[in-house]
Structure 1
Amino acid sequence: MMRNFTLTQLRYFAVVAELESMTRAAARLLVTQSAVSTAMAELERILGAQLFLRNRSTGLKLTSTGRAFAMEVKSFLDHADALFESTSDSGEALSGQLTVGVFSPLASFRLPVLLRAFESQHPGVDVTFLEADLATLHTALRDGRCDLALTYGHGLGSEFSSQVLERVPPHVIVSADHPLANSPGHEVALRDLEGEPLILLDLPHSREYYESLFALSGLTPNIRHRFSGYETVRSFVARGHGYALLNQRVHNDVPYSGGRVVPLRLIDEFPPSEVMIVHLSDAVPTRRALAFTNSCRRLYGASPP
């Protein structure tokens, strides 16, 4: 039996499901609230299923059926967009929404410059970001909450496709008054810090990567503090509470707390972290996603795959 719902109804539903509000969805879609409400009621009638729980005190909530339907609709709409874009004029200006996940420690480094470059070329695309840890980004990609992600490659499963943009080796930071701060060539081995207190950047998959470096050296880290904030780690190191292992180097050596950190290159042959653009393997990238990927390649100087 045919189910005569429309793409417009599905697009309205996707926004209502995201915002859990008819009013805010109508504002984003630039239509009246009554148009959204009517479309949702008609969609529920056609499907023969309740998608929302409507309550004056708690507001609008998805039912379990609605949540499952929302996950399918996101993928369906992506495929619909890809189908249209595959037959449209390749010179046509891009428009629409693009949600990009970004690993928190990477967000402050190149993302502002990347967005400015992308928006200058594609002003019609509305880009939003989901800043999170690696595990959360993997889940967001699976759930369709972001179209692609700028992230490290740690912990990626076979369901993801990726393109390497940059390989970043690990390094150590110590306080300016640390005995190793003036090491010749600013180079040390991880063993030179054996037993000293470690300030660990404690994020899912990141901590496993840093702990693996100690295992490769046959060392056991003396973890003194664990923090999820990149700048918090640097601040504690600057004030002499320990040292840290990091990948991305900050040009400014003065953290928020004052003091100063000194980056030291590791002479150990450790595997680098790979900065990647990641998407689901079975998802068809839209022209917007492909354009953003190309902007990333240009910024990072990566070669096409």
Structure 2
Amino acid sequence: MTKPFTLVQLRYFAAVAETQNMTEAAVRLNVTQSTLSSAIAQLEGEVGASLFVRMPRRGLRLTDAGRRLARELGPFLEEADRINALVAGEADALDGELRVGLFAPLAPFRAPVILSAFERSHPKVHVSFLEGDQQFVQRALAEGRCDVALMYDIGLEAGFTTHVVERVPPHVIVHAGHPLAAAADREVWLAELAAEPLILLDLPHTREYFLHLFRLAGIEPRIRHRATGYETVRAFVGKGHGYSVLNQRIHHQLTYVGDRIVPLTLADDLPSIAVVLVRPDGVRPTRRALAFEEVCLRLYGATRD
């Protein structure tokens, strides 16, 4: 039998699912918290399932049923908006909000470029980015808090569809006074740095990838410092505290404190890391998400399978 829940209830649910906070969602929707709470309770009654677990002083958490609804809701609400625009005689241009999950170290390299290109093609769509580590972004995708994500292909759990945007090989960075800095025009072997201290980019899955590179090269790295920030790693190297292995290349050689670092191409045959677009399996993507994917693939030279 058809359930008589309304579009308003579904939109309210989508806002609460994204924020996981009733007060914040009410402010965003410009309704009272009691109105919002009542609408969610009515929706739960209509679908016959609890959608949230209420956690005192910690907001809300989606139940399994809530996560399933959140994952499927984006395309449905987008289509409702499209039908409304067609009935009103408006052009069928993309609009609304697109939520993109983003692996934090990729953000400064990719987000501004992608956003500029996307806004030129789809100026009516408002894009918001949700940054975090690999696990955080996967969880946000699974819970429906973002529509698509851009991340690395490491540490991905089952249940996601991926498409490679670009493959980025590893390289070494040293400080400007390092003896190998003069070799910037040639390839160097990782073994040439084996006896020196390493500054490790220490993020979940990222560190495992880098340490795997050393194992492939038959080297036991001498880790001197661990840092979770990309620029922190570069700053340590710039001050001469050690060398590092990274993937994303910056178009200038200065650190935040003004020291110069020198990137070196590796001669070792080591695996690249893939930048991938990620969506949950079995969930129909929104037109906005597909448009975002097309922009990413166009920018970085990849094509759809």
Contact 1:200–1:233 under 8 Å retained in 2: yes
Measure, in 1, the Cα distance between the counterparts of 2:23 and 2:199.
Answer: 46
Q: Which shifted more, 270-279 or 15-24?
A: 15-24
Counterpart amino acid of 2:216? L
Indicate the residue corresponding to 2:74 in structure 1: 78
Q: Separation in 2 of the partners of 1:51 and 1:213?
A: 43
The residue identity in structure 2 corresponding to 1:204 is: P
* Structure 2 unmatched runs, 5+: none
- Residue 166 of structure 2 aligns with an amino acid whose one-letter code is E
CA contact (8 A) 2:26 2:36 kept: yes
Q: Matches of residues 107-186 of structure 1 in structure 2 within 5 Å?
A: 107-183=107-183, 185-186=185-186
Report the AA paired with residue 198 of structure 1.
L
Q: Which moved more, 1:176-185 or 1:202-211?
A: 176-185
3-state SS of paired residue (1:204): coil
Give the structure 2 partner of residue 259 of structure 1. Answer: 259
Give the % identical residues. 51
For residues 34 and 204 of structure 1, the distance between their equivalents in structure 2, rounded to whole angstroms, comes to 40
Contact 1:104 1:133 in 2 (8 A): yes
Root-mean-square deviation over aligned CA pairs: 2.7
For structure 1, the 5+ residue unaligned runs are: none
Compute the displacement of 1:21 (Å). Answer: 4.8
Q: Deviations over 1:19-49 (max 9, x none)?
A: 3555542442355656434423433554485
Do the aligned partners of residues 281 and 19 (structure 1) sit closer, same or farther apart at CA in structure 2, a change above 3 Å counting?
closer
In 2, Cα distance between equivalents of 1:49 and 1:280: 22
| Matching residue of 2:59 | 61
Structure 2 distance, partners of 1:222, 1:174, is 15
State the distance in 2 between where 1:288 and 1:212 align: 37
1:122-174 Cα deviation digits (max 9, x unpaired):
12222111111222222222222221111111122342211111111100000
Equivalent-residue separation in structure 1 for 2:225 and 2:98 (angstroms): 37
The DSSP-based 3-state class of the residue aligned with 2:185 is: helix
The alignment status of 1:99 with 2:99, answered yes or no, reads: yes
**8 Å CA contact 2:103, 2:137 repeated in 1:** yes
Contact 1:189 1:268 (C-alpha < 8 Å) held by counterparts: yes
Give the letter for the 2:140 counterpart.
A
Task: Give, as a single letter, the amino acid of the residue that structure 2 aligns with 1:250.
Answer: I
Q: CA deviation at 1:53?
A: 4.7
Compute the displacement of 1:304 (Å): 2.5
1:200 and 1:223 in contact (8 A); partners too: yes
1:209 counterpart residue number: 209
Q: Secondary structure at the match of 1:232?
A: helix
- C-alpha separation between the residues in 1 aligned to 2:19 and 2:101? 18
The whole-number CA distance in structure 2 between the counterparts of 1:50 and 1:82 is: 21
Change (3 A) 1:5 1:219: same
The letter of the residue matching 1:111 is: A
Take 1:5 and 1:303, find their aligned partners in 2: how far apart are those partners? 40
CA 1:61–1:3 in 2, change beyond 3 Å: closer, same or farther?
Answer: farther
CA separation of 1:256 and 1:94: change in aligned 2, threshold 3 A: same
| Match runs of 1:182-261 below 5 Å | 182-183=182-183, 185-261=185-261
Distance 1:109 1:68, change over 3 A: same
Distance in 1 (alpha carbons) for counterparts of 2:138 and 2:194: 33
Q: 1:285–1:206: structure 2 CA closer, same or farther, 3 Å change rule?
A: same
1:227 is matched by which residue type in structure 2?
A
Structure 1 counterpart SS, 2:292? helix
Structure 1 residues 110 and 215: CA distance shift in structure 2, 3 A: same
Shift of residue 95 of structure 1?
Answer: 1.8
Change (3 A) 1:297 1:207: same
8 Å Cα contact 2:53-2:63 kept in structure 1? no
Partner residue in 2 for 1:274: 274
Aligned AA (1:76)? E
Which range moved further: 223-232 or 139-148? 139-148
Equivalents in 2 of 1:10, 1:84: separation in Å? 11
Matched, 1:293 2:289: no
SS of structure 1 residue aligned to 2:290: helix
TM-score (norm 2): 0.87
Is contact 1:85-1:286 (8 Å) kept? no
Give the Cα–Cα distance (whole angstroms) in 2 for the partners of residues 303 and 76 of structure 1: 26
Alpha-carbon distance between aligned partners in 2 of 1:210 and 1:144, rounded to the nearest angstrom? 31
Cα distance between partner residues in 2 of 1:243 and 1:18 = 41
Query: Aligned pair count?
Result: 299
